[in-house]
Amino acid sequence: MPIEVGLVGLPGSGKTTLFRALTGAPTPAGEYGKPHVGMASVPDERLDRLAEVLSSAKLTPAAMRVVDPPGLDASVLGELRKVDALIAVSRNFGPDVDAARDSESLALELILADRDHVERRLERVRQQAKSGAPETRKEVESLERALAHVEAGGSLADYPGPVPAELEPLTTKPLVLIVNGGDGGLDLQLEGELAELSADDASAFREGQSALEATVGSLFAEAGLLTFFTGSDKEARAWTLQRGQTALDAAATIHTDIARGFIRCEVISFEHLIETGSHAEAARRGLQRLEGKTYVVHDGDVLNIRFNV
């Protein structure tokens, strides 16, 4: 499954322009008042080099599902409770510019959305608790403490106790702030227009990284994500994984059947594969290792998972 990212921003901040830049959609798909949803390819120059070395017939980058909700109402932001991370867009152009103020306002909207969510769940669980189930009464107590903390000015991100898993708070999700315009900011209007061009034509107009490259780099760092690769003469492909996850998790990312029939994993670093030019030469030099299910995958690992179903 691709990682899921939600976009948040005050009106006029340019978050839908960022959606266009990320997904390449000339006009956001979806009905008025409905979230825009699109897929973005995750750029990684290592994939091109891997495909070249292995003479891969096909190249498939990692994918990212992007959700752009229509506004900041609590019910709208509820669409983002399932995403893996948030990207917040702050305006740094036009009249009355104050990026810090806008960031604070946006943070408050997320806190209020979490508070409303806790209130609604508490109301439902209180009704269920009338049946007398001990676990339900414990959840009522937990939700009451969380609500009191938020109403006192805190957020669920700094809540001192365990947050009920069912809440999926917005304020605890990894968040990357993107400044739109101004010195040091991204020109999202330009990036949105360049997204409609071919990659070669866009690079001729762009200075430095694209909005997607800069944003994804920050997102991966904040969310603790890494990229691993699979490669052969048929296809070179990039995949996304959480740091600390294992070879078995990587197998499940590729396909559940591969995880179910996992036997062993052949591992070589991207750098060593590029240096040696092939899996066979890497193995001959002792640079390819055999690992089991519990091997912790590193960024840039090239995996060949042996399995039998």
Percent of residues, the chain, with pLDDT higher than 90: 57
Handedness of CA 278, 284, 288, 289 (dihedral sign): positive
Extended strands (E) in 149-194: 175-180
For 39, how many CA atoms within 13 A lie in the half-sphere containing its CB?
6
The whole-angstrom separation of Cα 121 and Cα 143 is 8
**What is the chain's length?**
309
Superfamily name and number for 3-43+63-93+174-222: P-loop containing nucleotide triphosphate hydrolases (3.40.50.300)
pLDDT in tens, 205-246: 766 666 677 788 889 999 999 999 999 999 999 999 999 999
Q: Which of 173, 151, 148 is nearest to 161 (CA)?
A: 148
pLDDT at 251: 97
pLDDT at 224: 94
Instruction: Please say if the pLDDT value at position 296 is more than 60.
Output: yes
Mean per-residue pLDDT of the chain:
89
The whole-angstrom separation of Cα 231 and Cα 273 is 10
pLDDT in tens, 173-201: 999 998 888 887 888 887 778 777 777 77
Could you tell me if 5 and 84 are in contact, meaning their C-beta atoms sit under 8 angstroms apart?
yes
pLDDT at 254: 96
pLDDT in tens, 232-283: 999 999 999 999 999 999 999 999 999 999 999 999 999 999 999 999 999 9
Give the largest CA-CA distance in the chain.
68
- The two tokens of residue 192 are 């949105």
Q: Which amino acid is at 218?
A: S
pLDDT at 136: 82
Handedness of CA 184, 186, 189, 195 (dihedral sign): positive
At what angle are helices 211-223 and 15-23 packed, to 10 degrees?
100
The whole-angstrom separation of Cα 41 and Cα 196 is 14
**In the chain, what are the domain boundaries?**
3-43+63-93+174-222, 99-167, 244-307
Judge if 3-43+63-93+174-222 and 244-307 fold alike in CATH terms.
Answer: no
For 270, how many CA atoms within 13 A lie in the half-sphere containing its CB?
22
Other Cβ atoms within 10 Å of 130 Cβ, number: 9
- The two tokens of residue 65 are 């599902």
pLDDT at 32: 62
pLDDT at 306: 96
The domain made up of 244-307 has a fold known as Ubiquitin-like (UB roll) (3.10.20)
End-to-end CA distance of the chain: 21
Phi-psi region of 6 (alpha: psi -120 to 50; beta: other; left: phi over 0): beta
Could you tell me if 72 and 239 are in contact, meaning their C-beta atoms sit under 8 angstroms apart?
no
Confidence of residue 74 (pLDDT cuts 50, 70, 90): confident
What's the rounded mean pLDDT across residues 302-308?
96
pTM of structure: 0.85
In degrees to the nearest 10, what's the CA dihedral of 187, 189, 195, 201?
A: -70
Mention every residue, 6+ apart, whose C-beta is less than 8 A from residue 81. 117, 168, 169, 170
Tell the residue number behind the tokens 């001192």, with chain if given: 160
pLDDT at 265: 96
The whole-angstrom separation of Cα 285 and Cα 295 is 21
Could you tell me if 240 and 233 are in contact, meaning their C-beta atoms sit under 8 angstroms apart?
no
pLDDT in tens, 98-153: 878 888 899 999 999 999 999 999 998 888 877 777 778 888 888 999 999 999 98
| CATH architecture group of domain 99-167 | Orthogonal Bundle (1.10)
